[in-house]
């Protein structure tokens, strides 16, 4: 929702995927066109049809707190893989993923959070193998609802930390328009660098 507001405010045409039609008005209020679709059950062709003509696709879905290990697999891994395949099918090259710090397909442990980190890691690994995508994987630290500061630390490895959701959205909005960050997996926490400067830095500018 935060990203949709930012993109819409700068004049982009934005669509957001929801599976609960009651959320449609919230998306419209944010300036986005709601697309009713369940990524846990949708067919590849169906998702690809909605992506036709898009300049970029951002995967930010998650099973969410309270969900079990099975849904970590179907959403955090399965839906991300499906969305990537759909982007390839629709020839949408620019592809951003909101992953998680610590995501690793080889992560050990039997807790639900361990399953989550494995699922995210498996999805990331799959997406990085897609030569038809100009992908960037963003791995924020612990997300907070604090107001954004516009100041971040973004590197291949930042170490643990937290970051407001507002600032994650601001970074994503910059990354969408920075194809030089394609092929990078980046960790993100609060810091002292303005977002635009941080993005230019990792892009090599």
Active site (catalytic) residues = 116
Is residue 18 within 8 Å of residue 35, measured between CB atoms? yes
Is residue 199 within 8 Å of residue 162, measured between CB atoms? no
Q: Which helix (H) or strand (E) holds 96?
A: strand 94-98
Interacting residues of 186 by C-beta distance below 8 A, sequence separation 6+: 136, 137, 138, 139, 154, 155, 156, 202
DSSP, res 36: E
Beta strands in 29-93 (DSSP E): 32-36, 56-59
Is residue 140 within 8 Å of residue 168, measured between CB atoms? yes
Q: Which helix (H) or strand (E) holds 135?
A: strand 134-140
Burial of 63 (0-12, 13-18, 19+ CB in 10 A): buried
């Amino acid at each position: 929702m935060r990203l949709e507001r930012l993109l819409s405010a700068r004049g982009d045409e934005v669509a957001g995927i929801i599976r609960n039609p009651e959320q449609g008005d919230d998306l419209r209020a944010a300036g986005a066109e709601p697309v009713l679709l369940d990524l846990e059950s949708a067919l590849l062709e169906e998702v690809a049809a909605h992506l036709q003509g898009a300049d970029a696709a951002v995967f930010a879905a998650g099973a969410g707190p309270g969900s079990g290990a099975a849904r970590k697999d179907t959403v955090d891994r399965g839906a991300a893989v499906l969305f990537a395949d759909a982007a390839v099918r629709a020839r949408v090259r620019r592809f951003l993923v909101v992953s998680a710090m610590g995501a690793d397909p080889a992560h050990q442990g039997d807790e639900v959070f361990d399953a989550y980190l494995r699922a995210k890691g498996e999805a990331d690994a799959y997406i990085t193998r897609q030569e038809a995508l100009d992908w960037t994987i963003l791995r924020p630290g612990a997300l907070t609802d604090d107001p954004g500061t516009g100041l971040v630390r973004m590197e291949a490895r930042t170490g643990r930390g937290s970051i407001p959701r507002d600032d994650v959205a601001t970074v994503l909005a910059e990354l969408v328009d920075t194809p030089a960050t394609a092929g990078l997996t980046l960790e993100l926490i609060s810091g002292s660098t303005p977002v635009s400067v941080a993005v230019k830095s990792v892009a090599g500018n």
